[in-house]
Amino acid sequence: MKESKIGFEDSAEAKEKGCDRNKMKSLGVMSETEILKKLGIFGEFKDEKLKGLSHGDMKKLDDLNLMVFTKSSSSQSSVWALRVTCFMLLWTIIVVYCRGIGDEFKPTFFFFNTDHSAISPSFPPQRIFENNGYLMVSSNGGLNQMRAGICDMVAIARYLNVTFIVPELDNTSFWNDPSQFRDIFDVDYFINSLRDEVQILKELPPQMKQKIETKFLYSMPPVSWSNMTYYYDVILPRIKTHGVVHFTKTDARLANNGIPEEVQRLRCRVNYQALRFTPPIEQLAKKIVRILKERGPFLSLHLRYEMDMIAFSGCNEGCNQQEIDELTQMRYAFPWWKEKEIDSERKRSQGLCPLTPEETTLVLQALDIDPNIQVYIAAGNIYKSEKRMKTLKQAFPNLVKKETLVEPSELEPFQNHSNQMAALDYYVSIESDIFVPSFKGHMAELVEGHRRYLGFRKTITLDRKFLVRLIDMYKNGTLMWEQFSSLVKSTHTGHEGKPTKRTVVPGKPKFEDYFYTNPQECLVSS
């Protein structure tokens, strides 16, 4: 396998030198006037104007210089002081100039910075390779499920030497969001930032498009949790045979472990660097972050308690019978949701239910989270929010969400586009001082991994199976508050997004730790 080109360019030597020695050498043999001209500090005396001066004008300048230096000829110390000042000024300018040269060698392209507007993109040269065909994909699921799948597909396309077509996003899921790739991600940046690895096109070339329109498009779902051998041995021959292969699903199609390191690193590069949100999404997200940070530290709470989440999971802790009937009816109304009869208590005891808003409140208090901290709700509409959020609001009065931080008109372009709204929450969660998810969904997993990648920002992953036992014991009086709080704190020691080895289950990649939660091969400290 060809070695990946990912990585920081070797710029240490350039940084140590500070400036190009050849340029310094050439500066050293110039006259002071030539140096000043070279550095562009001659003000209004541009080269053209200097050339336009007549001999008489030059004579006047010489006379003026003579007057400056002879007027105080009686005081040699004044002359030397002026010379020293000029000399120091000159070398200050040279140092600034050299720093500018050094900055050119900084590897800004691979440096992640969420303030993308501050960086002028410098795209790498295009990779030349023998094209084996074209890969089209239809990404399935919600925003973050699709995001992870896209990263996998780009890595697969690169190492099969095929051209990748910008993905089609799922518009048929429960959320019924019509957004396409270009509505959420900066498509031009996505294409250009990866052009040294893989060729990406917005659509098939006309000749290939006509071919699949007049004949047929070979479509298939790749096998879940496959390694790269599957794609080399099974998929590549099909692409070569048909010219174009269309994947109908992208979620969890690549294993977590046992993947070549260069492939793993490319997955990271796509996810953390190439998949940049569109400027409108980023601008509003940055505004929300700025407002929050101006007010003080903030915790982003990914509270998975939307109606669809509760209905499809069958987790109805704290709901009355009328609410349980309403949620059950919703679950039965969607035929694609296969699990209909669900034992809520059993599922909750196994840690498979999201914590309720009331349970989440108890856990945050037990962890001694400052009651005055801003708690940003990174979620959709909470089910029965007026009733269910009351306890959380009392415990943490600085409860905020995007709808309370910016004007309705600013959110209006993203309304009715659940994936675009989720993108705003994703960005804000990345920037939060603390991130706490109440459930281990796709957003929680990707945000946790992204925060690890950015330097192990504090993320508290909750042990729901143990917590619900403690919560029940506290509620029935078996545990006093001090004991409850102590056990919650001790249980979550080390659950803060710190470096850790990813769990490997031989022969069962589905049960291994998720790659995007802990991108171990891409972490500097690993």
Tell me, letter by letter, the H, E, C secondary structure of 292-325: HHHHCCEEEEECCCEHHHHHHHCCCCCCCHHHHH
41-45, 147-151, 420-424, 442-446, range with the lowest pLDDT: 41-45
- 25 to each of 20, 21, 148, 474, how far by Cα in Å? 9, 6, 51, 76
Edge-to-edge strand ranges of the sheet holding 399-400: 399-400, 374-377, 298-302, 434-437
73-82, 119-128, 299-308, 435-444, range with the lowest pLDDT: 73-82
Q: What's the chain's average pLDDT?
A: 82
pLDDT of residue 54: 40
> CB neighbours of 328 closer than 8 A, spacing ≥ 6?
311
pLDDT of residue 28: 37
- 379 to each of 113, 228, 251, 421, 491, how far by Cα in Å? 24, 35, 22, 9, 26
Long-range Cβ contacts of 234-241 (<8 Å, 24+ apart): 235/156, 235/160, 236/132, 236/160, 236/162, 239/132, 239/133, 239/134, 239/135, 239/160, 239/162, 240/132, 240/133
CB atoms within 10 A of CB 161: 17
Q: In angstroms, rounded to a whole number, what is the distance separating the alpha carbons of residues 451 and 458? A: 8
Q: Could you tell me if 471 and 219 are in contact, meaning their C-beta atoms sit under 8 angstroms apart?
A: no
pLDDT in tens, 453-466: 999 999 999 999 99
pLDDT confidence tier of residue 215, bands split at 50, 70 and 90: confident
pTM value is 0.77
For residue 159, the Cα-to-chain-centroid distance in whole angstroms is: 23
Query: CA quadruple 144, 149, 152, 157: dihedral positive or negative?
Result: negative
pLDDT of residue 87: 55
Report, as an integer, the average pLDDT of 494-520: 89
Q: In angstroms, rounded to a whole number, what is the distance separating the alpha carbons of residues 421 and 415? A: 7
pLDDT of residue 71: 37
Please check the confidence at residue 296 and state whether its pLDDT lies above 60.
yes
pLDDT of residue 18: 39
| Pick from 343, 336, 382: nearest CA to 361 | 382
Q: Amino acid letter at 439?
A: F
Please check the confidence at residue 438 and state whether its pLDDT lies above 50.
yes
Q: Which two tokens stand for residue 258?
A: 């046992």
| Burial class of 341 by CB neighbour count within 10 A (0 to 12, 13 to 18, 19+) | exposed
pLDDT of residue 12: 37
pLDDT confidence tier of residue 493, bands split at 50, 70 and 90: confident
2-6, 304-308, 351-355, 497-501, range with the lowest pLDDT: 2-6
pLDDT of residue 77: 47
- Local structure of residue 254 (DSSP, 8 states): B
> CB neighbours of 140 closer than 8 A, spacing ≥ 6?
146, 149, 170, 173, 248, 249, 250, 251
pLDDT of residue 82: 54
pLDDT of residue 316: 94
Instruction: Write the Ramachandran bin of 173: left for phi over 0, alpha for psi from -120 to 50, otherwise beta.
Output: beta
pLDDT confidence tier of residue 335, bands split at 50, 70 and 90: confident
Report, as an integer, the average pLDDT of 476-493: 95
pLDDT of residue 40: 38
Edge-to-edge strand ranges of the sheet holding 134-137: 200-201, 163-165, 134-137, 244-247, 218-220
302, β-bridge pairs: 437
pLDDT confidence tier of residue 499, bands split at 50, 70 and 90: confident
Please check the confidence at residue 497 and state whether its pLDDT lies above 90.
no
pLDDT in tens, 228-275: 999 999 999 999 999 999 999 999 999 999 999 999 999 999 999 999
19-23, 187-191, 297-301, range with the lowest pLDDT: 19-23
Please check the confidence at residue 91 and state whether its pLDDT lies above 60.
no
User: Helices then strands (H, E): number in the chain?
Assistant: 26, 9
pLDDT in tens, 38-78: 333 333 333 333 333 344 444 433 443 433 333 334 345 44
